[in-house]
Amino acid sequence: MPDFSNSVNLKYVKLGYQYLVNHFLTLSLVPIILGVMVQLFRFGPDEISRLWTALRFNFVHVLCSCFVIIFAATLYFMSKPRPVFLVDYACYKPPASCRVPFATFMEHSRLNLSKEPKSVDFQMRILERSGLGEETCLPPAIHFIPPTPTMESARGEAELVIFSLIDSLFDKTGIKPKDIDILIVNCSLFSPTPSLSAMVVNKYKMRSNIKTFNLSGMGCSAGVISIDLAHDLLQFHPNSNALVVSTEIITPNYYQGKERSMLLPNCLFRMGGAAILLSNRRSDRWRAKYRLLHVVRTHKGGDDKAYRCVYEEEDPQGKIGISLSKDLMSIAGEALKSNITTIGPLVLPSSEQILFLLSLICRKIFNPKWKPYIPDFKQAFEHFCIHAGGRAVIDELQRNLRLSAEHVEASRMTLHRFGNTSSSSLWYETGYVEAKGRMRRGDRVWMIAFGSGFKCNSAVWKCNRNIKVSSDGPWFDCIDRYPVQIPEVVKL
């Protein structure tokens, strides 16, 4: 029997079906317009004159019609949400002195855990299969033996990352600190007093009436949450600029115990951060890189297992760390399903929605064991930015969403070059696509992030203009080497 699933004929049938359904309205209007035009050509001058006389209105009718049209247009534009534009963004590139090659990481682990050889071997096995490369970075305090996770060193890391980001963004956009109306800083595990947002206001001497927010404890998806918060605030504050800073401070959260579930973050998390400038000003429409289309947030915290799958706690020896549950991947899969169910109708073309609906009806009526139809999200997006939380996360989403290797290339290369930079990883991935020269006007970008709690959040952007390859940024000096082949296991 022929292999129908790989049949060329079936492929063209599917393409034809998609074109017909997605352009049904246009295709149905063409014969109507042609019919009207043919009928008009058949009319003589007298018939056209009589038709014009019949359709002509008096002055009162015209005035009333204009008033109704203007009133309806005013209501429409007043009820329409304000467009939110991403003017530009900056990603932090750590200095070479912070680099931790595999050999350095393992040597420090052996010295710090000299009495726990099994914990050292466990970290080595994780690192071998992590998908990380030799150029990822950790903050200076972690390079000491033993590490010095003091409050002073944590503040030092925060100032180094956040101030570098904001300086770079201000240089790119030409905006001044006094022009910032809204400031949002998200950092999950380091929440000092005064807050990080207050630290930024103090450094740049921002206005006294600036609206500041500091988000903590929301995990790797906090970046999308910050974007959603900024979007909502920009709906009520016209002609405003919002600065969003997403980072994770590693210094105070480096685990020095022997619990395996808590040693995992040590192997994956690395230095990083991103600063994003959002605006609802009409003058920024033409220079902005992207326009925000949708933000969809899914929270599974009502389930106890989901709530505790990423959990900060003390181990039996009293050492604080982040515990990652074995159920993490299955919980992330359930959260992703819920998120897809919400975002699908907003972004998928009609052809995919009809197939999904038919699949659902058939499962309900005929056989509930039939596999559900997985919508083809490649028809809705040109670029996918999947949170670079780890190799398993990327593999699972690639399989479930049926994505090609090119679609997840940005995520894999970001994990290899920078590691898991928490909430900022999505921006490194976007930067990778731009550095490769693949971002074009009209392209749609889907950002997918997971976070503690447990949350799955999505953001959909539309490229506002053709984006030229930048001469700066975190990828400018290494993009020619990527993509690289990442082996399943790197023997250490």
* Residues forming beta bridges with residue 297, ordered by sequence position: 457
For residue 458, the SS3 value is: strand
Q: Tokens 């910050």 sit at which residue?
A: 226
Closest by alpha carbon to 398, among 384, 416, 419, 379? 384
Q: Residue 416 catalytic?
A: yes
Q: Residue 383 catalytic?
A: yes
Closest by alpha carbon to 126, among 218, 263, 256? 263
Question: Which helix (H) or strand (E) is 367 found in, with range?
Answer: none
Task: Bin 437: left if φ > 0, else alpha if -120 < ψ < 50, else beta.
Answer: left
Of the residues 23, 143, 294, 299, only one is catalytic, namely 299
Tell me how many helices (H) and strands (E) the chain has: 17, 11
Q: Residue 143 catalytic?
A: no
Contact indicator for 265, 253 with CB cutoff of 8 Å = yes
Q: Tokens 């974007």 sit at which residue?
A: 227
Alpha carbon distance 123, 130 (integer Å): 10
For residue 385, the SS3 value is: strand
Alpha carbon distance 260, 253 (integer Å): 15
| Residue 134: φ, ψ to 5° | -90, 0
* Helix, strand and coil in the chain, % to nearest 5: 50, 15, 35
- Residue 46 identity (one-letter amino acid): D
Task: Bin 469: left if φ > 0, else alpha if -120 < ψ < 50, else beta.
Answer: beta
Alpha carbon distance 470, 198 (integer Å): 31
Of the residues 416, 456, 457, 464, only one is catalytic, namely 416
**CA 476 to the chain's CA centroid:** 21
Neighbouring residues of 394: CB distance < 8 A, sequence distance ≥ 6: 131, 386, 388, 408, 411, 412, 415
Alpha carbon distance 308, 305 (integer Å): 5
Q: Residue 407 catalytic?
A: no
Closest by alpha carbon to 474, among 422, 415, 421, 418? 418
Of the residues 420, 456, 463, 464, only one is catalytic, namely 420
Question: Which helix (H) or strand (E) is 313 found in, with range?
Answer: strand 310-314
Of the residues 108, 280, 309, 383, only one is catalytic, namely 383
Of the residues 137, 220, 267, 456, only one is catalytic, namely 220
The two tokens of residue 358 are 């038919």
Q: Residue 108 catalytic?
A: no
Contact indicator for 315, 259 with CB cutoff of 8 Å = yes
What is the rounded (10 degree) CA torsion for 105, 108, 110, 113?
-110
Q: Residue 186 catalytic?
A: no
The two tokens of residue 78 are 């007043």
Of the residues 186, 231, 241, 387, only one is catalytic, namely 387
**CA 367 to the chain's CA centroid:** 36
Q: Could you list the active site residues?
A: 220, 299, 383, 387, 416, 420
